[in-house]
Amino acid sequence: MKSNPLNMTNLTRQYYNYLTYYETSRLSINQLLLGTTVYLLLFFILGYLVFRKKRF
Answer yes or no: is pLDDT of 1 > 60.
no
SS (H, E, C) the chain: CCCCHHHHHHHHHHHHCHHHHHHHHCCCHHHHHHHHHHHHHHHHHHHHHHHCCCCC
pLDDT 10s digits, 23-42: 777 778 788 788 888 888 99
10, 25 in Cβ contact below 8 A?
A: yes
Delimit the domains of the chain by residue range: 5-51
Amino acid at 26: R
pLDDT 10s digits, 47-56: 999 988 877 6
The whole-model pTM stands at: 0.64
pLDDT of the residue at 47 = 92
pLDDT 10s digits, 37-47: 888 899 999 99
